[in-house]
């Protein structure tokens, strides 16, 4: 499964509620019309330890494979609908687009559409001189399993390998 991840900052002239309202009520139906979308998740960010997050929202579009991701990125509905609408509520200069592949560490129970659970996403760059494969071996072999064993226990844990689009 391929995940297209979008990190959004709202336009400066919109308050948080206006941003979320547009994202949920106008933008989401446009994403639902895209070919090959298996799942679409909108993550509204929350302050952590009193600090505002650098982004207002993180969107996840799940597609079956690389071919489906390519088809989606090149289709008319994406360009004329989804991308065109981003100008209405997103600071376009600040959008970060990633393509990721999951490495499931702890699957957890399936979630239903109306379920809401907290999610922690941590983005980092690999250390200079460390290859992508070395980072993956380290992360999957030592860091991710130790996070799963921490308390309180997570309901599900994933390691996403990202390539910036």
pLDDT in tens, the chain (165 residues): 899 999 999 999 999 999 999 999 999 999 999 999 999 999 999 888 888 889 999 999 999 999 999 999 999 999 999 999 999 999 999 999 988 887 666 666 776 666 665 555 666 666 788 887 777 777 667 655 555 455 454 444 444 544 444
Question: CB 82: neighbour CB atoms within 10 A?
Answer: 19
Overall size of the chain counted in residues: 165
Global model pTM greater than 0.75? no
Q: Per the structure block, which two tokens stand in for 97?
A: 């687009």
The whole-number pLDDT of residue 155 equals 45
The whole-number pLDDT of residue 165 equals 45
160 φ/ψ angles, rounded to the nearest 5 degrees: -105, 130
The whole-number pLDDT of residue 92 equals 95
Give the count of domains, the chain.
Answer: 1
DSSP string over 14-46: S-HHHHHHHIIIIIHHHHHTSTTEEEEEEEE--
The whole-number pLDDT of residue 138 equals 73
- Between CA 59 and CA 68, with CA 63 as vertex, the angle to 5 degrees is 125
The whole-number pLDDT of residue 137 equals 73
The whole-number pLDDT of residue 18 equals 97
CA distances to 8, 35, 77, 90 from 85, rounded to whole Å, are 13, 17, 11, 9
CATH number at residue 134: 3.30.70.100
The whole-number pLDDT of residue 74 equals 96
Which structural domain range is residue 138 located in? 2-164
């Amino acid at each position: 499964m391929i995940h297209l991840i979008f990190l959004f900052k709202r336009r400066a002239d919109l308050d948080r509620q206006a941003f979320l309202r547009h994202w949920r009520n106008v933008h989401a139906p446009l994403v639902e019309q895209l070919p090959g979308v298996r799942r679409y998740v909108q993550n509204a960010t929350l302050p952590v330890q009193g600090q505002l997050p650098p982004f207002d929202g993180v969107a996840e579009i799940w597609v079956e494979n690389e071919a489906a991701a390519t088809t989606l990125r090149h289709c008319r509905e994406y360009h004329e609908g989804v991308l065109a609408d981003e100008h209405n509520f997103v600071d376009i200069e600040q959008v970060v687009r990633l393509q990721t592949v999951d490495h499931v560490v702890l699957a957890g129970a399936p979630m239903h559409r109306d379920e809401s659970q907290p999610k922690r996403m941590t983005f980092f760059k690999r250390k200079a001189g460390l290859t992508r494969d070395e980072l993956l071996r380290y992360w999957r072999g030592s860091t991710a399993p130790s996070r799963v064993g921490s308390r309180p226990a997570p309901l599900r844990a994933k390691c996403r390998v990202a390539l910036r689009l």
